[in-house]
Amino acid sequence: MTDIRSLVPDIAETIHYAGSDNFTGGPVDGYRASKCFLRTAAAEALARVERDLRKDGYRLRLWDCYRPARAVASFVRWARDLSDTRTQAAHYPNLGKDKLLGEYIAPISGHSRGATVDLTLMRCEGKQCTPLDMGTAFDFFDPRAHTGDPGIDATQRANRQHLLRAMAEEGFVNYPQEWWHYSLPSAAAADTIYDVPVE
């Protein structure tokens, strides 16, 4: 695993699961630091995406990278606790919590193989960067978060496609149900799920 900041020291990171601003409402088991680790080939590819975007005045903001298996297990426990709906308004306003397991929360995550990243795109002028309008927030469990959702407007669609093209240039593949979710299959640990804490 490689810390992305060893390749791009000033890359923008907001690792949501290390804090309380996420769909569980609190820090997630396995996140002891707000850092982005990826298998080295994936980290190098992501650094190239960032470098190419900067040439045109754009940058990435990373929300999650490698995810320990214990964190995924904590997501499943949270999803099964139907009494805890504190974050419904922000993250799943149109769904019952009993509908989250499966399409939105899986018992095994590609993030735990070390080559999956959740991120968005920002437009920058100098050091001032503004996130682009993608139509939904991160971890919004709803069809509107599907990359090709027909309900988003033209600007939001163009922004999603910009991110898609930039990531595809380095071989990253989008998960169609989440516009922010990308994996680099060639860099993933095919038969290995890691559970080392992020620290």
Contact 104, 113 (CB under 8 A): no
Going residue by residue through the chain (199 aa), what tens digit of pLDDT does each one get?
A: 999 999 999 999 999 999 999 999 999 999 999 999 999 999 999 999 999 999 999 999 999 999 999 999 999 999 999 999 999 999 999 999 999 998 899 999 999 999 999 999 999 998 899 999 999 999 999 999 999 999 999 999 999 999 999 999 999 999 999 999 999 999 998 889 999 999 9
Half-sphere exposure of 17 (CA within 13 A, CB side): 26
- According to the model, what pLDDT value does residue 190 have? 80
Ordered DSSP codes for 122-175 = EEEETTEEEE---SS-TT--SGGGSTT-TTS-HHHHHHHHHHHHHHHTTT-EE-
Whether 195 is in a domain gets the answer no
Cα-Cα-Cα-Cα dihedral sign, residues 10, 37, 165, 132: negative
Whether 194 is in a domain gets the answer no
Overall domain count for the chain: 1
Whether 130 is in a domain gets the answer yes
Query: CATH code at 65?
Result: 3.30.1380.10
- According to the model, what pLDDT value does residue 191 have? 85
Whether 199 is in a domain gets the answer no
Domain hosting 169: range is 2-187
Whether 14 is in a domain gets the answer yes
- According to the model, what pLDDT value does residue 102 have? 87
Cα-Cα-Cα-Cα dihedral sign, residues 143, 144, 146, 150: positive
Catalytic machinery residues: 178
Whether 197 is in a domain gets the answer no
Contact 134, 160 (CB under 8 A): yes
Whether 147 is in a domain gets the answer yes
Please calculate the CA angle 100-72-156 and round it to the nearest 5 degrees.
Answer: 55
Whether 193 is in a domain gets the answer no
pLDDT digits 0-9 by tens, 86-119: 999 999 999 999 999 988 999 999 999 999 999 9
pTM of the model: 0.96
